[in-house]
Every structure is written in structure tokens, then in C-alpha cells.
Amino acid sequence: MTQHRSELLMPAGNLRKLKMAILYGADAVYLGTPDMSLRTKSQFSLEEVIEGVEFCHQHGRRAYLTLNLFSHNKDIPKLDEYIDTVRRVRPDGLIIADPGVFQYVKERAPELSLHVSTQSNICSWLSVKFWQDQGADLCVLAREVSYPELVEIREKCPDIKLEAFVHGAMCMTYSGRCLLSNFMAERGANQGNCANSCRWNYTFRMRMKDGTVQDLNITDENADMFEFLLEEGCRPGDLMPIEEDARGSYILNSKDLCLMPKLDDYLRIGVDSLKVEGRGKSEYYCAIVARAYRMAIDDYYADPENWDPKPYMRELETVGNRGYTMAFHEGRLTNYAHDYEHTASIAQWEYAGVVTDVTDDAFLVEVKNKLEAGDVLEFISPISRDTILLRVYDFERADNGQRLDVINGGTKTTIRLPFTLFDHEDIDDLRERFPAYSVMRKERPLTDEQWKRIRFDKLTQGLEITGKGNNAAYTRRRDELVESIGEGGEERRFKTNRIGTEGCCGKGCNGCLIFWQDDIYARARDVLLKRKQGEQLSRAEATEFKLPAE
């Protein structure tokens, strides 16, 4: 009997993101054009949609188109043309939210497989059965559905496909029902144009009854003397009341959803599609998140009893995030699900570049973030789990051969990395493992505040996963972060242990020229020659091997 396998469904905001998601392990992608798909910034033309779907089918994968707007009268005349277009594209499913649009498409294109969007807010087995009776092949469950509810829905609805979000941004209120964006920026969140007002930087202000605005120390004795207001960073002087009830203040900024720690539960009960949010996220996000979940899913099916989320979480931590939360998994949000002190998305690594072409003797790489002489690039293969580390001492422009010590990001500069730099690798194996669209990352230096934010996020994630409280540790880490925010230092440091000649981290990637040229690293050279390129020295070895050779 063939084992039922959950599909990994990745977002595709443009054609290159689609190709990266597929190459890095997605079973399916979802995409759409800007006018009808709740993503006004979608970068797909009709021709690119057709090419993208064909790319998926050529690789044996699936592509779903989005038609998940809530229709107004002005939208209805477009539907017939849209349906004709969809028939040309031949997707594997059409994602719809509006009941009227659902019925319209069902009648005019009965051959299309219809999926009900998360915008329909399906939270119960009763709603799933309703849509099944209407002819839906799949229901996307709301993010607010808890895991116990999901188990019951799966039991009561065994004959329809279920899709659940496992990763991506979270709305601070009921998904897609936020008025902040409309009120503050006149951008409709429910029309795919959210301004993400909940992510903005707000300052707490108090106004005295006489109208003066002051910074005051609130105590139980004086709390009734004040009004409480928010001031948004770009609107000084525009003070907005914030109310508090028995449940506390409404905190605006949610952490990012990540159900990797409980992914085995979803695989065990047979959730048909595991959905990742992020059509507006970067191509690096598409590649690395797809890679992490692909490895996790495959490893679970290979050995479910010994499955452990930790290695895949380490991979997800290399992608910018606001801290990870399991959100509604247990049935209710906790204080761990929100960012009280910090809203920025950060990571210890950043997107360095992407392979655009593989020539007879080199990789051609489009630079994505600033590269400096001595940077270590980590090549992430869409084919192999093993990565390769390469230290680069200068950069050759592919267009004119000019050699530079610094390449700035955002310039769309393409550099040439000759295969001769990979002195530990088999060249044919390199070409096979790192085709076009292979991505690279590099370590990113962070401020003290950012390092403390990462430590705090990892603590709260652990507390949420285990369900065990540790108020002392929580308070200590939170206070450390708040204190660091107050200090506002901009000095940045790397996590890597940096020793020896300036610029050498002691990892030994591709032999690091320092190891090959200085007598004091003779012992390190002997060790590294026997290791695979990119295999690192431990901190202890790096310190030990710096001693003069005997």
C-alpha cells in the first residue's frame, strides 16, 4: 500500500521564486496575477504564470492559481476572461474565497479543481463539510484552528483534502480582518494590499487631563489620572488612544508562525498540504524554507520514531524572522506569541548571492548583499544536503574582469567564482550539485541588541514548545533586551570565533590562505588536507593549531 504523503506547498511571488521553491523541494506552489489574487504586488504577468506552471509540470510538481479576492461588482466582468485564461494555464487547482465566485467558476469551468482559501475562515468540520458538499476538493483551514480541532476535523472529514499553514507571518488579529491598514494608510488588508501597520514602531505616550503630554511613572495610585496613547514613529504628535481591559493591552506585533517543532503531529494525522506563507518574501526565503521542510518531511517518513526537529530549526534560523511561535497550535495565544519589545526581522545569516549560470570553468553569481574580501560564502545545494564553504579574498566582475575588494548589494553585479578556488572539490560534482538558482549565504554581524533579541526569542520559543514556565529566565532575558534597546549601540560583531590574523575565523574553509602560508598553522594544514572542503575546525582546534609547529 502506498504511504499517504503530505505535500509541501510554497509561495511564489515571481517566476524566479517559483523556480527556486520547486528546485529546493516544494511539491507545489501557489501563485497569481496582481488583480485577482489578494497580492497587489505580485510580479507575475500572464506569460510568466504560464511558464511557471509549465516549469512545475516539467518537474513533476503542482501549481495552484489564486482567485481569492472578495468580489465587488466591478470584478465580476473580469471573471469570464479569467476563467478562459486559467484554462490556458492548466493549473492543478484554483484557490477561491468568495462563495459567489466559487459557484460561478464551478458552473462555467467544471473541470477545474476548486480549493477554498484561508480567507473563508474555515474553523470547524461543519464548514469543511459545507464546502465539500458544494464541490470543493480541498479546504485551507484558518490559522486560528488549533491542533486538537484539526484532529477532529480530519476524523470527521476523511474524504476531502485539508491544508494547514505551518510557517510564515501571522496577523496580530483575526487573519485578514484587520482595520489598522485601512484606517492608517488607506490600504485594504482584505484586498491584498496590507500596509503591515502592526509592524510599525510605536511609542507609548500619556496625556494629562489638562491636555499636556508627558513621560510619567505609572503606579497603582496614579494610573487613573492619565489617558494612554500610541505615537507611531512617522507621525510625531499624532496621538492615538489605546485601551486596556481585563485581558490586558492589545499588543500589535505577532511573531512568525513556525510549526516545525510539531510537524510530526501534522504528518501523523495526514494533513494533505502543509502551507508556507510568503509570496512577498525573498527568493532566499523561498529556497531555504523549502529546503528545511523538505528535509524534515522526508526524514519523518523515513524514520518517524526518531524524528527530531532541531536540525531543521537551525536551518530556519538562518532566514530573517521576528522570532518563531506555534501561535494557535495549543488552542490559544500566549504572551510568547508576540513581540513586545522589538519588531524587526533578523537572522545571523543573510542572502549573499545566487548562481545565475555555470560555465566550463566558473560559477557566475549575482550579488545580493554586500561582500567584502575575506567573507565566507556558504553554498546551499538544491540537490544535496551538504553545503560548501568558500572564503573569497577578492571579487572578479564577470562583465569586465575587474577585481574588487568590495561588492555592494543592490547593484545587480555579477561576479565570477572560478572552480580553481574549490581546491578540495571534484569539479564535475560541483557542477551537478550547484546548478543555476543555487543560493549562497554569509554570516551577518549583529548589534548587541540583536544578539539579545535572538537569545530572548530562542528562550520564549523553548518555553512555548515545552509548555513549562520559567518566569525568572523570561524576566532576565527580557530585561537584558530592554536595557540593550535603551543603550542603542550600533557596534556589530560576528558569532564566529575569530582568532589569528585579522579576517581569519579559524574555521578552515577551503584551506584559508592563512593556513597555507604561515608556519604557525602547519598542524592545521595537515588536518585540513585530510578533511572535506568546508569541514570546519572546532574552536578548540582553532586555538590549539595556532600554536607554533614543534
CA distances from 411 to 302, 330, 401, 406 (A): 43, 45, 16, 12
- Higher local confidence (pLDDT), 519 or 311: 311
The pLDDT tens digits of the residues spanning 356-375 come to 999 999 999 999 999 998 78
**pLDDT of 353 strictly over 70:** yes
Q: Is residue 525 part of a domain?
A: yes
Q: Is residue 435 part of a domain?
A: yes
Amino acid letter, residue 281: K
Of the three residues 412, 427, 443, the one that is the final residue of a domain is 443
Of the three residues 476, 493, 510, the one that is the final residue of a domain is 493
Q: How many CB atoms lie within 10 A of CB 483?
A: 12
Measured between alpha carbons, how far apart are the two ends of the chain, in Å? 63
The pLDDT tens digits of the residues spanning 129-181 come to 999 999 999 999 999 899 999 999 999 999 999 999 999 987 655 555 555 55
**Judgement on whether residues 78 and 45 belong to the same structural domain of the protein:** yes
Of the three residues 337, 362, 388, the one that is the final residue of a domain is 337
Q: What is the pLDDT of residue 250?
A: 36
In the structure, what pLDDT confidence band is assigned to residue 247 with cuts at 50, 70 and 90? Answer: very low
**Judgement on whether residues 385 and 508 belong to the same structural domain of the protein:** no
Positive or negative: CA dihedral 333, 38, 280, 356: positive
Q: What is the pLDDT of residue 219?
A: 58
Q: What is the pLDDT of residue 435?
A: 96
The pLDDT tens digits of the residues spanning 421-461 come to 887 788 999 999 999 999 999 999 899 989 998 998 899 89
Point out the least confidently predicted range of 108-117, 179-188, 233-242, 400-409.
179-188
- What is the Cα–Cα distance from 407 to 369, expressed in whole angstroms? 8
Q: What is the pLDDT of residue 170?
A: 75
Which residues on adjacent β-strands are paired with residue 346? Answer: 321
Look at residues 119, 169, 168, 128 and name the one whose alpha carbon lies nearest to residue 149: 128
Buried b (16+ CB within 10 A) or exposed e, 499-524: ebeeebbbbbbbbbebbeebeebebb
Are 8 and 162 contacting, i.e. CB atoms less than 8 angstroms apart? no
Point out the least confidently predicted range of 45-59, 158-172, 228-242, 297-311.
228-242
- What is the Cα–Cα distance from 339 to 2, expressed in whole angstroms? 43
Q: What is the pLDDT of residue 323?
A: 87
C-alpha cell at 288: 531555504
HSE (CB half, 13 Å, CA atoms) of 16? Answer: 13
Q: Is residue 215 part of a domain?
A: no
Point out the least confidently predicted range of 192-201, 273-282, 519-528.
192-201
**pLDDT of 376 strictly over 90:** no
Mean pLDDT of the chain: 83
**Judgement on whether residues 278 and 397 belong to the same structural domain of the protein:** no
**pLDDT of 117 strictly over 60:** yes
- What is this structure's pTM? 0.83
Structural domain boundaries enclosing 451: 446-493
- Higher local confidence (pLDDT), 105 or 213: 105
- What is the Cα–Cα distance from 49 to 183, expressed in whole angstroms? 33
**Judgement on whether residues 405 and 484 belong to the same structural domain of the protein:** no
- How many distinct helices (H) and strands (E) make up the chain? 16, 28
- What is the Cα–Cα distance from 102 to 479, expressed in whole angstroms? 51
Average pLDDT (112-141) is: 96
**pLDDT of 498 strictly over 90:** no
Positive or negative: CA dihedral 42, 45, 49, 52: negative
- What is the Cα–Cα distance from 184 to 182, expressed in whole angstroms? 6
Q: Is residue 432 part of a domain?
A: yes
**pLDDT of 204 strictly over 70:** no
Average pLDDT (218-240) is: 63
Average pLDDT (179-208) is: 55
**Judgement on whether residues 510 and 480 belong to the same structural domain of the protein:** no
**Judgement on whether residues 417 and 487 belong to the same structural domain of the protein:** no
Q: Is residue 314 part of a domain?
A: yes
Q: What is the pLDDT of residue 479?
A: 85
Q: Is residue 23 part of a domain?
A: yes
The pLDDT tens digits of the residues spanning 35-64 come to 555 444 557 888 899 999 999 999 999 999
DSSP per-residue string spanning 286-321: HHHHHHHHHHHHHHHHH-GGG--SHHHHHHHTTS-B
**Judgement on whether residues 77 and 49 belong to the same structural domain of the protein:** yes
**pLDDT of 503 strictly over 90:** no
Task: List the strands of the sheet with 395-397, edge to edge.
Answer: 388-391, 376-380, 439-443, 349-358, 362-367, 414-418, 395-397, 403-404
- Higher local confidence (pLDDT), 488 or 248: 488
**Judgement on whether residues 418 and 471 belong to the same structural domain of the protein:** no
Q: Is residue 205 part of a domain?
A: no
DSSP letter at 254 equals: B
**Judgement on whether residues 455 and 432 belong to the same structural domain of the protein:** no
Q: Is residue 385 part of a domain?
A: yes
- What is the Cα–Cα distance from 335 to 217, expressed in whole angstroms? 23
In the structure, what pLDDT confidence band is assigned to residue 233 with cuts at 50, 70 and 90? Answer: low
In the structure, what pLDDT confidence band is assigned to residue 497 with cuts at 50, 70 and 90? Answer: low
DSSP per-residue string spanning 207-231: EETTS-EE-----TTTGGGEEEEEE
**Judgement on whether residues 543 and 430 belong to the same structural domain of the protein:** no
**pLDDT of 1 strictly over 50:** no
**pLDDT of 198 strictly over 60:** no
- What is the Cα–Cα distance from 92 to 61, expressed in whole angstroms? 9
**pLDDT of 506 strictly over 60:** no
Interhelix angle 46-58/15-23, rounded to 10 degrees, is 10
Point out the least confidently predicted range of 33-42, 256-265, 482-491.
33-42
How many structural domains compose the chain? Answer: 4
**Judgement on whether residues 53 and 146 belong to the same structural domain of the protein:** yes
Which residues on adjacent β-strands are paired with residue 276? Answer: 167
**Judgement on whether residues 296 and 271 belong to the same structural domain of the protein:** yes
The pLDDT tens digits of the residues spanning 469-484 come to 888 998 898 888 878 8
Q: What is the pLDDT of residue 550?
A: 42
- What is the Cα–Cα distance from 185 to 197, expressed in whole angstroms? 8
Phi, psi of 11 (to 5 degrees): -80, 155
In the structure, what pLDDT confidence band is assigned to residue 494 with cuts at 50, 70 and 90? Answer: confident
Q: If you search the block for the grid coordinates 500619556, which residue do you land on?
A: 206
Buried b (16+ CB within 10 A) or exposed e, 209-237: eeeeeeeeeeeeeeeeeeebbbbeeeeee
